[in-house]
Structure 1
Amino acid sequence: MASRVIPVEVFDLVIFGATGDLARRKILPGLYLRWLAGQILPEARVIGAARAELSDAEFRASVAAAIAEYVPPARQDAAALAGFLDRLSYVAIDATGDKGWAQLRAVVRPDVVQAFYFSVAPTLFGAIAGRLTAHGIAGPEARIVVEKPFGRDLASARALNAALAQHFAESQIYRIDHYLGKETVQNLMAVRFANILFEPLWNSQYVDHVQITVAETVGVEGRGVYYDKAGAMRDMVQNHIMQLLCLIAMEPPYHFDPDAVRDEKLKVIRALDPVRPEDIVRGQYLAGGGKGGYLEDADNRNSRTESYIALKLHISNWRWKGTPFYLRTGKRLRARESEIAITFREPPHSIFDDHSGWRENVLVIRLQPDEGMNLKVMIKEPGPGGMRLVQVPLDMSFAEALGEALDDVPDAYERLIMDVIRGNQTLFMRGDEVEAAWAWTDPVIGGWEARGEKPQPYEPGTSGPEDALMLMHRDNRRWREIRS
């Protein structure tokens, strides 16, 4: 199976914050890989913009170093790299002043697709947006890409939306969430809406519960000051996990169209019930394995910020009423693993005398590592001695199914940046969607802050706090094991 590469239109992409960590690790290497794949035409250009005083040659040298560091050796090609670097130029710019804007206007072409990537702090979004329009750089069809965090509560998200809306229409704003660019995440929609096998069963009549897990082995060292102001709820649940929940729970859109998809996601968020205090478990990792604990990493001995959170949610609509959704995410856990598990109900009646080996049917969608899908079904255990049941997987690993073609599948940033150039907003959050997510999140955070609750300590290399296990046990269910 070979993947098709369809070139995008000629474009000028300006990356604000081009010397920063995100640009070096993800954006610029991703653009190089799309150039290597033949998706970017020779007439396209990438313009770096940052405060540092660099020549074009110095910027190109720094990009070459980033590609050497972050692109796998097998995909590094000297001739392709030279061609990509030729597309690059640089402008030293002051995001909040006048320096550099005239020079930027002189190099950005008005007759090609214009895209402006705000790889900067959210506090600079409004200033950059205003100067792009005030200096006549951004045309009426220009697109801007803004990174998370998009606010830290409903009020700040509304303020950011309003600041951008002063200068750009909603159809021009691309709020990026790299989780939505993952191949398996997009396959959620294909699995649901392209297979009659699943859609009739995708409701509370047949689904017992849904688990969404995003587990990480790393702590917050190196970004502790930022993380301590956010926590797992703001950093992961409000955006990444919320998007996964929406794709699992949404109704079929009338068409695979950006606004049609986002309309249905918005309905899910608005149908979320408030979370009861007893349905929330928060934790902080302790020191262990030669590494400090959360309090040391955050440099705040009195921190009440969670590095782990587990929640039980309900969606009040006809499709999902009565089916619980269990979400969990945390740092310094047993393994790096992201998956969605849809557990189906037991058959209403068993015809087999020996029911001891019975297990529910489970559809597991693995996001990382080993992207793929796994459907667990019951069969007869081989051999004589009666009808003994055993659960086996019908497994589809992307690596096995796609073979060498998997090497050509773009990562999340590659895909999403190309979608910006195409003008496809399907995998980007809309302003009202962001605000609805914060409107649901704020009372949850406000509740535990008002109660003065401290996160529970947990040992690194485990599955999290003990109370998270009880969150499931009291419902006679169990978390799926986080595999080490």
Structure 2
Amino acid sequence: MAVLTDDRKASQLLESEPSFPSTRDCWHCGFERDLCLTIVVAGASGDLASKKTYPALQFLHHNGFLPRKVAIIGYARTQMSDEQLRTKLRPRLKGSEKEVDKFLEGCTYVSGSYDGSEGWQKLAAVLEAREAKHRGCPCGRLYYLALPPSVYPQVCTGLKTYCDGLPSVEGSWIRVVVEKPFGLDLQSSEELAEELGKLYPESQLYRIDHYLGKEMVQNLFVIRFANMFTAPLWNRNCISNVQITFKEDFGTQGRGGYFDSFGIVRDVIQNHLIQLLAMLAMEKPLSIHPDDLRDEKVKVLRCIKPVQPHNVVLGQYTAADAQPGYTDDPTVPAGSKTPTFASVTVFIDNDRWAGVPFVLKAGKALNERKAEIRVQLRSTPHFVFNGEPEAMRNELVVRLQPDEAIYLKLIVKKPGLEIDTAISELDLDYRQRYPGVVIPDAYPRLILDSIRGDQQHFVRRDELRAAWAICTPILHLIDAGALPVHPYPYGSRGPPEADELLARAGFVKNSRYDWHEAGAARL
């Protein structure tokens, strides 16, 4: 009889083990063709609903992404008829009059309070009457909360108490989409999550961060994990520093009262930029299952130590060039020290990224509108050409807005008889490479994901907790006025102290690089 080797024994043992597939292995997203879908927009009379939610739904409707049996019901405290809602929405919608009319025909309205029972009972009756016309079909209810988080608990309580009675047909579901901000710090975020978690499980909650729906953010995931050339470079041995930048060229524009209660760190850095950092720095997930991807984001976020005061520069814009300063906004409290600019350096304490500075920068009333990720590599060792290698760095630049693009900066030979070097770029400009292709806004993509049941681009509770843990200590110092807020003129690059912070992070501006394309944003 042949003697089995240890390897063959182990192999046979594994083959004889029963298979226990994970629920993630059986995952799929999508919806049934005969789905009876009802989208309830809570807060339908507000600005967010008219500016973002309804135009996104119209885009999906016009392009055939919604099921045939779809209805959109607005709910808010404002007394309003169906026709008044349609009149309010019409200026925000795009397309011909016929296309707009076709969409608005499916939009109705129910008025009611958020903390009583009468309005929710009226809404429940409308839902049940509609679904009764489609007996035997799976029914989906998407509750989109275009509301401030302060009313989430009472709204979700009303929905759960009165609007939770789905028909018992296989494939039916209820999902709740909630907008940021999710609290003001770690404690308030956890309190809100606990309240909502008692009403709806994590599988039904879709915390929307619209940056995760942007085309180039989703492309970043593909660039990182579908290309072999990035793998050996994506670590502390090759990368010197990373910048993630969000710049707006306008101020608060009369919304300063709202902004003043949050500030730029809560408004942009804690959510949008931290999410970009996680996508940039995480390990490759096992699959594209939403929880496999979010598991990796949580792992890397938990490796980031809380922000230290010496790694923060704050600013507030002042009047310049006939533009008002932040405190000139009549809605802003007199003497406010709320920062409208922040530059923050964080470090990821793991094997891949130890010692690499990640600079997160966001500001209002700056010199340009831009959102980009800039990965700067270390200088080339043993540089045998003319020139200073420290001033010539390879960079990968991903521009999220405006004009989506990806640039890889390379050191090349200048044309001519001499061996001289210059910085040039491999350039993927989406307008030129994909002419005529409409890149949708983030909201249609994320709403469609929620209808399909794909939580990949939504924030999970433990992910939210990890993000708040990074920012909460420094936010408490900002709230207490313990950090200086530097003035900077409207339309400038921000406070000069931010350049000093960037230099400490090791960023080197390429001294021999010129960007020639007319009309393009200079990199």
Partner of 1:271: 303
Alignment of 1:33-52 (within 5 A): 33-52=59-78
Shift of 1:248: 0.4
Partner of 2:127: 108
Match of 1:444 among 474, 477, 482: 474
Q: CA RMSD in A?
A: 2.1
**SS of 2:199's equivalent?**
coil
Q: Distance in 2 between matches of 1:479 and 1:22?
A: 39
Alignment of 1:282-297 (within 5 A): 282-297=314-329
Shift of 1:138: 5.5
Is the 8 Å Cα contact of residues 50 and 92 (structure 1) preserved in structure 2? yes
Q: Distance in 1 between matches of 2:388 and 2:77?
A: 68
Structure 1 residues 279 and 426: CA distance shift in structure 2, 3 A? same
Of the structure 1 ranges 345-354 and 472-481, higher mean CA displacement relative to structure 2 is found in 472-481
Write out per-residue CA displacement over residues 331-380 of structure 1, whole angstroms, 9 at most, x where no aligned residue.
00000000000111122222224447961110000000010101111110
Q: Distance in 1 between matches of 2:504 and 2:283?
A: 30
Are 2:358 and 1:334 equivalent residues in the alignment?
A: no
Partner of 1:123: 150
Write out per-residue CA displacement over residues 131-171 of structure 1, whole angstroms, 9 at most, x where no aligned residue.
11211436483100001111011111111111111111100
- Stretches of structure 1 that go unaligned for 5 or more consecutive residues are none
Shift of 1:221: 2.7
Q: Distance in 2 between matches of 1:418 and 1:475?
A: 39
Write out per-residue CA displacement over residues 386-416 of structure 1, whole angstroms, 9 at most, x where no aligned residue.
21001111110111111112x2x32100100
Match of 1:83 among 94, 102, 107: 102
Q: Distance in 2 between matches of 1:136 and 1:471?
A: 52
Shift of 1:453: 2.5
Q: Distance in 2 between matches of 1:6 and 1:424?
A: 11
Alignment of 1:381-420 (within 5 A): 381-384=414-417, 386-405=418-437, 407=438, 409-420=439-450
Partner of 1:54: 80
Letter in 2 for 1:57: E
Alignment of 1:354-393 (within 5 A): 354-355=387-388, 359-384=392-417, 386-393=418-425
Match of 2:111 among 92, 113, 117: 92
Q: Distance in 1 between matches of 2:509 and 2:145?
A: 38
Partner of 1:325: 358
Is the 8 Å Cα contact of residues 281 and 309 (structure 1) preserved in structure 2? yes
Write out per-residue CA displacement over residues 11-35 of structure 1, whole angstroms, 9 at most, x where no aligned residue.
1100001111011111111111111
Structure 1 residues 356 and 427: CA distance shift in structure 2, 3 A? closer
Structure 1 residues 354 and 473: CA distance shift in structure 2, 3 A? closer
Q: Distance in 2 between matches of 1:11 and 1:141?
A: 10
Partner of 1:31: 57
Q: Distance in 1 between matches of 2:160 and 2:390?
A: 66
Are 2:213 and 1:176 equivalent residues in the alignment?
A: no
Letter in 2 for 1:465: P
Write out per-residue CA displacement over residues 67-95 of structure 1, whole angstroms, 9 at most, x where no aligned residue.
1xxx3xxxx12332222112111111111
Is the 8 Å Cα contact of residues 213 and 446 (structure 2) preserved in structure 1? yes
Alignment of 1:129-168 (within 5 A): 129-137=156-164, 139=166, 141-168=173-200
Is the 8 Å Cα contact of residues 312 and 324 (structure 1) preserved in structure 2? yes
Q: Distance in 2 between matches of 1:469 and 1:335?
A: 16
Write out per-residue CA displacement over residues 162-203 of structure 1, whole angstroms, 9 at most, x where no aligned residue.
111111110000000111111001101000011111122111
Are 2:502 and 1:472 equivalent residues in the alignment?
A: yes
Is the 8 Å Cα contact of residues 357 and 388 (structure 1) preserved in structure 2? no
Letter in 1 for 2:112: I
Match of 2:44 among 18, 22, 26: 18
Q: TM-score, normalised by structure 1?
A: 0.92
Is the 8 Å Cα contact of residues 358 and 378 (structure 1) preserved in structure 2? no
Partner of 2:261: 229
Is the 8 Å Cα contact of residues 386 and 420 (structure 2) preserved in structure 1? no
Length, aligned pairs only: 470
Match of 2:276 among 231, 244, 247: 244
Q: TM-score, normalised by structure 2?
A: 0.86
Structure 1 residues 55 and 353: CA distance shift in structure 2, 3 A? closer
Shift of 1:274: 2.8
Partner of 2:9: none
Q: Looking at CA atoms only, which structure, 1 or 2, has the larger radius of gyration?
A: 2
Are 2:326 and 1:300 equivalent residues in the alignment?
A: no
Partner of 2:464: 434
Shift of 1:326: 1.1
Q: Distance in 2 between matches of 1:245 and 1:345?
A: 19
Is the 8 Å Cα contact of residues 386 and 421 (structure 2) preserved in structure 1? no
**SS of 1:166's equivalent?**
helix
Partner of 2:344: 311
**SS of 1:413's equivalent?**
helix
- Stretches of structure 2 that go unaligned for 5 or more consecutive residues are 1-29, 132-137, 167-171, 516-520
Shift of 1:472: 2.2
Q: Distance in 1 between matches of 2:67 and 2:431?
A: 29
Of the structure 1 ranges 117-126 and 346-355, higher mean CA displacement relative to structure 2 is found in 346-355
Write out per-residue CA displacement over residues 105-154 of structure 1, whole angstroms, 9 at most, x where no aligned residue.
12225541110001111111111111112114364831000011110111
Is the 8 Å Cα contact of residues 101 and 135 (structure 1) preserved in structure 2? yes
**SS of 1:105's equivalent?**
helix
Is the 8 Å Cα contact of residues 393 and 508 (structure 2) preserved in structure 1? no
**SS of 1:300's equivalent?**
coil
Q: Distance in 2 between matches of 1:52 and 1:156?
A: 28
Is the 8 Å Cα contact of residues 287 and 459 (structure 1) preserved in structure 2? yes
Is the 8 Å Cα contact of residues 218 and 331 (structure 1) preserved in structure 2? yes
Are 2:520 and 1:456 equivalent residues in the alignment?
A: no
Q: Distance in 2 between matches of 1:48 and 1:460?
A: 39
Shift of 1:478: 4.3
Q: Distance in 2 between matches of 1:310 and 1:404?
A: 37
Q: Distance in 2 between matches of 1:173 and 1:332?
A: 34
Letter in 2 for 1:387: I
Q: Distance in 1 between matches of 2:441 and 2:373?
A: 19
Letter in 1 for 2:502: M
Write out per-residue CA displacement over residues 437-484 of structure 1, whole angstroms, 9 at most, x where no aligned residue.
112211112234557223000111111101111112345534799859
Partner of 1:200: 232
